[in-house]
Protein backbone atom coordinates (compact mmCIF):
# COMPACT_ATOMS: atom_id res chain seq x y z
CA UNK A 1 0.00 0.00 0.00
CA UNK A 2 1.37 3.41 -0.93
CA UNK A 3 1.60 6.19 1.64
CA UNK A 4 -1.34 8.60 1.75
CA UNK A 5 -0.89 11.87 -0.11
CA UNK A 6 -0.13 14.83 2.20
CA UNK A 7 -3.40 16.63 1.41
CA UNK A 8 -5.40 17.17 4.62
CA UNK A 9 -7.08 13.94 5.67
CA UNK A 10 -10.41 15.65 6.35
CA UNK A 11 -10.38 17.20 2.88
CA UNK A 12 -9.61 13.97 1.03
CA UNK A 13 -12.17 11.99 3.06
CA UNK A 14 -14.88 14.60 2.53
CA UNK A 15 -14.11 14.83 -1.17
CA UNK A 16 -14.28 11.06 -1.64
CA UNK A 17 -17.68 10.86 0.08
CA UNK A 18 -19.08 13.84 -1.84
CA UNK A 19 -17.76 12.45 -5.12
CA UNK A 20 -19.49 9.11 -4.52
CA UNK A 21 -22.75 10.85 -3.60
CA UNK A 22 -22.89 13.01 -6.72
CA UNK A 23 -21.08 10.68 -9.16
CA UNK A 24 -24.00 9.35 -11.21
CA UNK A 25 -26.36 12.15 -10.16
CA UNK A 26 -24.50 15.01 -11.82
CA UNK A 27 -27.21 15.59 -14.43
CA UNK A 28 -29.90 15.72 -11.74
CA UNK A 29 -27.87 18.20 -9.71
CA UNK A 30 -27.19 20.30 -12.79
CA UNK A 31 -30.90 20.32 -13.59
CA UNK A 32 -31.77 21.47 -10.07
CA UNK A 33 -29.16 24.22 -10.46
CA UNK A 34 -30.80 25.39 -13.68
CA UNK A 35 -28.02 24.12 -15.96
CA UNK A 36 -29.55 21.03 -17.58
CA UNK A 37 -27.19 18.52 -19.19
CA UNK A 38 -28.98 16.67 -22.00
CA UNK A 39 -28.71 12.95 -22.49
CA UNK A 40 -27.67 11.44 -25.78
CA UNK A 41 -30.51 11.19 -28.34
CA UNK A 42 -30.43 7.39 -28.31
CA UNK A 43 -31.96 4.67 -26.11
CA UNK A 44 -30.40 4.79 -22.63
CA UNK A 45 -28.84 8.11 -23.65
CA UNK A 46 -29.45 9.74 -20.27
CA UNK A 47 -28.00 6.83 -18.32
CA UNK A 48 -24.97 6.69 -20.63
CA UNK A 49 -24.20 10.33 -19.84
CA UNK A 50 -24.85 9.79 -16.11
CA UNK A 51 -22.44 6.88 -15.88
CA UNK A 52 -19.86 8.45 -18.18
CA UNK A 53 -19.80 11.67 -16.17
CA UNK A 54 -19.50 9.65 -12.96
CA UNK A 55 -16.44 7.78 -14.24
CA UNK A 56 -14.82 11.00 -15.49
CA UNK A 57 -15.48 12.64 -12.12
CA UNK A 58 -13.79 9.92 -10.07
CA UNK A 59 -10.83 9.89 -12.46
CA UNK A 60 -10.43 13.65 -12.06
CA UNK A 61 -10.76 13.56 -8.26
CA UNK A 62 -8.35 10.63 -7.93
CA UNK A 63 -5.82 12.42 -10.14
CA UNK A 64 -6.12 15.57 -8.01
CA UNK A 65 -5.78 13.71 -4.72
CA UNK A 66 -2.77 11.69 -5.90
CA UNK A 67 -0.99 13.50 -8.75
CA UNK A 68 1.19 11.20 -10.81
CA UNK A 69 -0.35 7.99 -9.49
CA UNK A 70 -1.10 5.46 -12.29
CA UNK A 71 -4.90 5.46 -12.12
CA UNK A 72 -5.30 2.14 -13.91
CA UNK A 73 -3.81 0.26 -10.98
CA UNK A 74 -5.05 2.68 -8.33
CA UNK A 75 -8.66 2.00 -9.37
CA UNK A 76 -8.18 -1.76 -9.60
CA UNK A 77 -8.07 -2.05 -13.38
CA UNK A 78 -4.78 -3.95 -13.50
CA UNK A 79 -4.54 -7.64 -14.26
CA UNK A 80 -5.50 -10.27 -11.68
CA UNK A 81 -5.40 -13.51 -13.66
CA UNK A 82 -8.38 -15.46 -14.94
CA UNK A 83 -8.92 -17.73 -11.92
CA UNK A 84 -10.87 -15.32 -9.71
CA UNK A 85 -13.33 -14.17 -12.38
CA UNK A 86 -13.81 -17.77 -13.54
CA UNK A 87 -14.63 -18.94 -10.00
CA UNK A 88 -17.11 -16.09 -9.59
CA UNK A 89 -18.78 -16.90 -12.90
CA UNK A 90 -19.25 -20.52 -11.80
CA UNK A 91 -20.67 -19.29 -8.48
CA UNK A 92 -23.49 -17.50 -10.32
CA UNK A 93 -24.67 -20.59 -12.21
CA UNK A 94 -27.09 -21.70 -9.44
CA UNK A 95 -28.67 -18.24 -9.59
CA UNK A 96 -29.13 -18.55 -13.35
CA UNK A 97 -30.69 -21.99 -12.94
CA UNK A 98 -32.94 -20.78 -10.14
CA UNK A 99 -34.22 -17.84 -12.17
CA UNK A 100 -34.78 -20.09 -15.17
CA UNK A 101 -36.81 -22.44 -12.97
CA UNK A 102 -38.84 -19.53 -11.53
CA UNK A 103 -39.68 -17.80 -14.81
CA UNK A 104 -37.85 -19.14 -17.84
CA UNK A 105 -36.12 -17.11 -20.52
CA UNK A 106 -37.71 -13.77 -21.34
CA UNK A 107 -39.08 -13.38 -24.84
CA UNK A 108 -38.42 -9.62 -24.60
CA UNK A 109 -34.66 -9.84 -24.00
CA UNK A 110 -32.69 -7.88 -26.61
CA UNK A 111 -29.06 -7.01 -27.20
CA UNK A 112 -28.99 -3.27 -26.45
CA UNK A 113 -30.53 -3.48 -22.95
CA UNK A 114 -28.17 -6.36 -22.13
CA UNK A 115 -25.12 -4.40 -23.24
CA UNK A 116 -26.17 -1.33 -21.27
CA UNK A 117 -27.85 -2.73 -18.15
CA UNK A 118 -25.76 -5.86 -17.74
CA UNK A 119 -22.33 -4.79 -19.00
CA UNK A 120 -21.50 -1.11 -19.38
CA UNK A 121 -23.45 0.32 -16.44
CA UNK A 122 -22.22 -2.34 -13.95
CA UNK A 123 -18.64 -1.74 -15.14
CA UNK A 124 -19.04 2.00 -14.59
CA UNK A 125 -20.49 1.41 -11.11
CA UNK A 126 -17.59 -0.85 -10.19
CA UNK A 127 -15.04 1.75 -11.29
CA UNK A 128 -16.84 4.47 -9.31
CA UNK A 129 -17.77 2.67 -6.10
CA UNK A 130 -15.28 -0.17 -5.74
CA UNK A 131 -12.39 1.23 -7.77
CA UNK A 132 -12.52 4.77 -6.37
CA UNK A 133 -14.72 4.43 -3.29
CA UNK A 134 -13.02 1.31 -1.94
CA UNK A 135 -9.64 0.46 -3.47
CA UNK A 136 -8.44 4.03 -3.95
CA UNK A 137 -9.69 5.15 -0.53
CA UNK A 138 -8.22 2.10 1.21
CA UNK A 139 -4.91 1.66 -0.56
CA UNK A 140 -4.01 5.23 -1.50
CA UNK A 141 -5.77 7.39 1.09
CA UNK A 142 -5.08 5.23 4.14
CA UNK A 143 -8.67 4.29 5.01
CA UNK A 144 -9.02 1.04 6.99
CA UNK A 145 -10.57 -1.48 4.66
CA UNK A 146 -13.81 -2.12 6.58
CA UNK A 147 -14.81 1.57 6.81
CA UNK A 148 -13.89 2.01 3.15
CA UNK A 149 -16.04 -0.98 2.21
CA UNK A 150 -19.00 0.16 4.32
CA UNK A 151 -19.01 3.82 3.26
CA UNK A 152 -19.14 3.08 -0.46
CA UNK A 153 -21.67 0.27 0.09
CA UNK A 154 -24.07 2.53 2.02
CA UNK A 155 -23.84 5.23 -0.66
CA UNK A 156 -24.24 2.61 -3.40
CA UNK A 157 -27.38 1.32 -1.69
CA UNK A 158 -28.73 4.82 -1.04
CA UNK A 159 -28.40 5.83 -4.70
CA UNK A 160 -30.35 2.75 -5.78
CA UNK A 161 -32.90 3.38 -3.02
CA UNK A 162 -33.39 6.91 -4.33
CA UNK A 163 -33.76 5.67 -7.92
CA UNK A 164 -36.64 3.44 -6.72
CA UNK A 165 -38.46 6.44 -5.30
CA UNK A 166 -37.12 6.39 -1.75
CA UNK A 167 -39.36 5.49 1.16
CA UNK A 168 -40.02 1.99 2.42
CA UNK A 169 -41.30 -1.20 0.86
CA UNK A 170 -39.54 -2.26 -2.31
CA UNK A 171 -37.16 0.73 -2.27
CA UNK A 172 -35.96 -0.20 1.22
CA UNK A 173 -35.36 -3.81 0.17
CA UNK A 174 -33.40 -2.54 -2.83
CA UNK A 175 -31.28 -0.41 -0.47
CA UNK A 176 -30.55 -3.43 1.73
CA UNK A 177 -29.64 -5.78 -1.11
CA UNK A 178 -27.53 -3.29 -3.06
CA UNK A 179 -25.78 -2.23 0.15
CA UNK A 180 -24.94 -5.85 0.94
CA UNK A 181 -23.85 -6.26 -2.66
CA UNK A 182 -21.53 -3.28 -2.29
CA UNK A 183 -19.78 -4.97 0.65
CA UNK A 184 -19.54 -8.27 -1.23
CA UNK A 185 -18.05 -6.59 -4.30
CA UNK A 186 -15.48 -4.83 -2.11
CA UNK A 187 -14.49 -8.10 -0.39
CA UNK A 188 -14.02 -9.75 -3.79
CA UNK A 189 -11.79 -6.86 -4.90
CA UNK A 190 -9.62 -7.21 -1.82
CA UNK A 191 -9.33 -10.99 -2.11
CA UNK A 192 -8.53 -10.95 -5.83
CA UNK A 193 -5.27 -8.99 -5.71
CA UNK A 194 -6.95 -5.61 -5.16
CA UNK A 195 -8.52 -5.59 -8.61
CA UNK A 196 -12.08 -5.09 -9.84
CA UNK A 197 -12.47 -8.04 -12.15
CA UNK A 198 -14.04 -10.63 -9.86
CA UNK A 199 -16.51 -8.01 -8.64
CA UNK A 200 -17.23 -6.96 -12.22
CA UNK A 201 -17.96 -10.56 -13.23
CA UNK A 202 -20.35 -11.06 -10.30
CA UNK A 203 -22.12 -7.77 -10.99
CA UNK A 204 -22.37 -8.38 -14.74
CA UNK A 205 -23.47 -12.01 -14.45
CA UNK A 206 -26.23 -11.25 -11.92
CA UNK A 207 -27.49 -8.28 -13.92
CA UNK A 208 -27.40 -10.38 -17.06
CA UNK A 209 -29.43 -13.12 -15.38
CA UNK A 210 -32.14 -10.69 -14.26
CA UNK A 211 -32.41 -9.28 -17.78
CA UNK A 212 -32.35 -12.58 -19.63
CA UNK A 213 -34.79 -14.43 -17.38
CA UNK A 214 -38.47 -13.57 -17.06
CA UNK A 215 -39.03 -12.84 -13.37
CA UNK A 216 -41.64 -10.44 -11.99
CA UNK A 217 -40.72 -7.65 -9.58
CA UNK A 218 -42.31 -9.33 -6.56
CA UNK A 219 -40.18 -12.43 -7.06
CA UNK A 220 -37.04 -10.47 -7.95
CA UNK A 221 -37.14 -8.41 -4.73
CA UNK A 222 -38.81 -11.11 -2.62
CA UNK A 223 -37.24 -13.93 -0.64
CA UNK A 224 -36.70 -16.14 -3.69
CA UNK A 225 -34.77 -13.57 -5.70
CA UNK A 226 -32.83 -12.34 -2.69
CA UNK A 227 -31.92 -15.90 -1.70
CA UNK A 228 -30.52 -16.55 -5.16
CA UNK A 229 -28.50 -13.32 -5.03
CA UNK A 230 -27.11 -14.04 -1.58
CA UNK A 231 -26.23 -17.63 -2.45
CA UNK A 232 -24.30 -16.46 -5.51
CA UNK A 233 -22.50 -13.84 -3.41
CA UNK A 234 -21.57 -16.33 -0.68
CA UNK A 235 -20.34 -18.92 -3.19
CA UNK A 236 -18.29 -16.26 -4.99
CA UNK A 237 -16.67 -14.98 -1.79
CA UNK A 238 -15.95 -18.50 -0.55
CA UNK A 239 -14.40 -19.52 -3.86
CA UNK A 240 -12.21 -16.43 -4.22
CA UNK A 241 -11.20 -16.68 -0.55
CA UNK A 242 -9.93 -20.23 -1.14
CA UNK A 243 -8.06 -18.97 -4.21
CA UNK A 244 -6.57 -16.16 -2.10
CA UNK A 245 -5.39 -18.66 0.54
CA UNK A 246 -3.86 -20.86 -2.15
CA UNK A 247 -2.00 -17.91 -3.66
CA UNK A 248 -0.78 -16.77 -0.24
CA UNK A 249 0.54 -20.22 0.66
CA UNK A 250 2.22 -20.64 -2.71
CA UNK A 251 3.90 -17.24 -2.37
CA UNK A 252 5.11 -18.18 1.12
CA UNK A 253 6.58 -21.43 -0.19
CA UNK A 254 8.45 -19.72 -3.01
CA UNK A 255 10.06 -17.20 -0.64
CA UNK A 256 11.50 -19.83 1.72
Predicted local distance difference test score (pLDDT) of residue 80: 87
Model-level pTM?
0.93
Would you place residue 196 in the very low, low, confident or very high pLDDT band (cuts 50, 70, 90)?
very high
Residue 47 falls inside a structural domain: no
Domain for residue 130, yes or no? yes
Going by C-beta distance under 8 Å and a sequence separation of 6 or more, which residues neighbour residue 155? Answer: 17, 20, 21, 129, 133
Q: Is residue 151 part of a domain?
A: yes
Average pLDDT over residues 233-238: 98
Among 130-144, 145-159, 220-234, the least confident range = 220-234
Mean pLDDT of 33-57: 95
Residue 1 reports pLDDT greater than 60: no
Q: Flag whether pLDDT at 78 surpasses 60.
A: yes
Residue 216: inside a domain: yes
Per-residue confidence (pLDDT) for residue 6, from 0 to 100 = 62
Residue 4 scores a pLDDT above 80: no
Banded pLDDT at 214 (limits 50, 70, 90): confident
Domain count, the chain: 1
Whether 230 is in a domain gets the answer yes
* 79-119: pLDDT as tens digits: 989 999 999 999 999 999 999 999 889 888 889 999 999 99
| pLDDT at 3 (0 to 100) | 52
Collapsing DSSP to helix, strand or coil, 105 comes out as: strand
Which among 179, 153, 143, 137 is positioned nearest to 16, based on CA atoms?
Answer: 137
**Most confident region among 23-27, 48-52, 65-69 by mean pLDDT:** 48-52
Range of the domain at 200: 73-254
Query: How many other CB atoms are found less than 10 A from the CB of residue 221?
Result: 21
Task: State mean pLDDT over 49-59.
Answer: 98
Q: Is 228 a member of any domain?
A: yes
**Residue 221 clears pLDDT 80, i.e. is over it:** no
- Average pLDDT of the residues in 59-80: 94
Within a domain: residue 31? no
> What pLDDT, on the 0 to 100 scale, is given for residue 131?
98
CA distance linking residue 119 with residue 124, whole number of Å: 9
Distance in angstroms (rounded) separating the CA atoms of residues 129 and 19: 10
- CB atoms closer than 10 angstroms to residue 178: 23
With respect to residue 8, please indicate whether it lies within any of the assigned structural domains: no
Percentage above 70 pLDDT, the chain: 97
For residue 247, what are the CA distances in angstroms to 11, 87, 188? 37, 14, 15
Amino acid sequence: MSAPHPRPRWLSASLIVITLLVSINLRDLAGWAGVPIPGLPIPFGGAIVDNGLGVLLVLAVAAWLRPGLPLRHALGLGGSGWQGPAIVLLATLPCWLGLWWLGGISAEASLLPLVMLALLFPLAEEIIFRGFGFLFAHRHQGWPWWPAALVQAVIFGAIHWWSFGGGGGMALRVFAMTGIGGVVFAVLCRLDRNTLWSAVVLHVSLNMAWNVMQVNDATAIGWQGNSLRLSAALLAVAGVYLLHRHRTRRAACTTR
